[in-house]
């Protein structure tokens, strides 16, 4: 059976959980506790020297890291509904939209970045929160404007896939950091639609065995 190494509150792990659930893939969940720094322990680092979750491990021992690479692999190799459109232009547009979150937004408010600005740049809780909320709102605002373009009118008319795998966890994070999501009606509409789906309910952070 496939193993997903993840953490309930990790948005990159949440991306892969959504993809596994949307595609109906059975998997075992292995919790790597970020709060107690298990991801930087010898055992986990030996498997994944990046010291990050998620990681997917196959029964033959093959390991895949980086959530976008995992989604790409799943889309090309797994049975079940596809995550990406087959049309090359639509596919590139979806990857571009998801990259606004995964490449331009999430990395700047990652746990290690927040820890660094707190410790090395003397930020308190309010300073850390302001940093995270600023960069999340900045990224979501760019995504909202992108999805409002005519060329993105097809988004939302299809079953959730790659973009939703990346967007739903970022909105979960935005709400944690107090970002006002009413500023982003297109994104909020996609979020509400997705959260009503059973597959995505199973992937929710609070429904994971290590939640709490």
Ligand X SMILES: N[C@@H](CCC(=O)N[C@@H](CS)C(=O)NCC(=O)O)C(=O)O
Pick 67 or 191: Cβ nearer ligand X: 67
Neighbours of 16 (CB within 10 A): 29
Among residues 11, 7, 5, 9, which one has the least CA distance to residue 167? 11
Binding mask 57-86 for ligand X (x = CB under 6 A): ---------xxx------------------
| 8 A C-beta contact, residue 177 and residue 138 | no
Burial of 125-164, coded b for 16+ CB within 10 Å and e otherwise, reads eeebeebbbebbbebbbebbebbeeeebeebeeeebbbbb
Among 47-55, 80-88, 154-162, 196-204, which window interacts with ligand X (CB under 6 A)? 47-55
CB of 66 to ligand X, least distance (A): 5
CB of 132 to ligand X, least distance (A): 13
For 88, counting Cβ atoms within 10 Å of its Cβ (0-12 exposed, 13-18 middle, 19+ buried), the class is: exposed
Is residue 39 involved in binding ligand X (CB under 6 A)? yes
Pick 110 or 123: Cβ nearer ligand X: 110
Q: Restricting to residues 102-141, which ones interact with ligand X according to CB under 6 A?
A: 102, 110-112
From the list 4, 19, 23, 52, which residue makes contact with ligand X (rule: CB under 6 A)?
52
| 8 A C-beta contact, residue 169 and residue 18 | yes
Size of the site for ligand X (CB under 6 A): 15
Output the CA torsion sign for 7, 166, 47, 4: positive
Question: How many angstroms separate the first and last alpha carbons of the chain?
Answer: 26
Distance CA 170, CA 102 (A): 9
Is residue 34 involved in binding ligand X (CB under 6 A)? yes
Pick 50 or 76: Cβ nearer ligand X: 50
CB of 168 to ligand X, least distance (A): 13
Pick 110 or 146: Cβ nearer ligand X: 110
Among residues 102, 86, 73, which one has the least CA distance to residue 2? 73
Pick 112 or 145: Cβ nearer ligand X: 112
Residue nearest to ligand X (CB): 112
Give the interface with ligand X as residue ranges (CB under 6 A): 10-12, 34, 39, 52-54, 66-68, 102, 110-112
């Amino acid at each position: 059976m496939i193993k997903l190494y993840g953490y309930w509150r990790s948005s990159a792990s949440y991306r892969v959980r959504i993809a596994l659930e949307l595609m109906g893939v059975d998997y075992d969940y292995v919790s790597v506790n970020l709060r107690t720094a298990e991801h930087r322990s010898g055992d986990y680092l030996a498997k994944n020297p990046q010291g990050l979750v998620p990681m997917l491990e196959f029964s033959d021992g093959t390991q895949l890291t980086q959530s976008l690479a995992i989604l790409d692999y799943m889309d090309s190799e797994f049975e079940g509904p596809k995550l990406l459109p087959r049309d090359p232009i639509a596919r590139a547009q979806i990857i571009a939209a998801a990259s606004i979150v995964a490449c331009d937004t999430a990395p700047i408010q990652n746990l290690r970045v927040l820890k660094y600005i707190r410790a090395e740049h003397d930020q308190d809780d309010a300073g850390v929160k302001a940093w995270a909320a600023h960069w999340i709102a900045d990224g979501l605002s760019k995504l909202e404007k992108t999805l409002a373009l005519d060329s993105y009118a097809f988004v939302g008319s299809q079953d959730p896939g790659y973009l939703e795998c990346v967007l739903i966890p970022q909105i979960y994070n935005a709400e944690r950091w107090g970002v006002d999501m009413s500023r982003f009606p297109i994104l909020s509409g996609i979020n509400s639609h997705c959260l009503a789906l059973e597959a995505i309910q199973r992937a929710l952070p609070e429904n994971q065995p290590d939640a709490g």
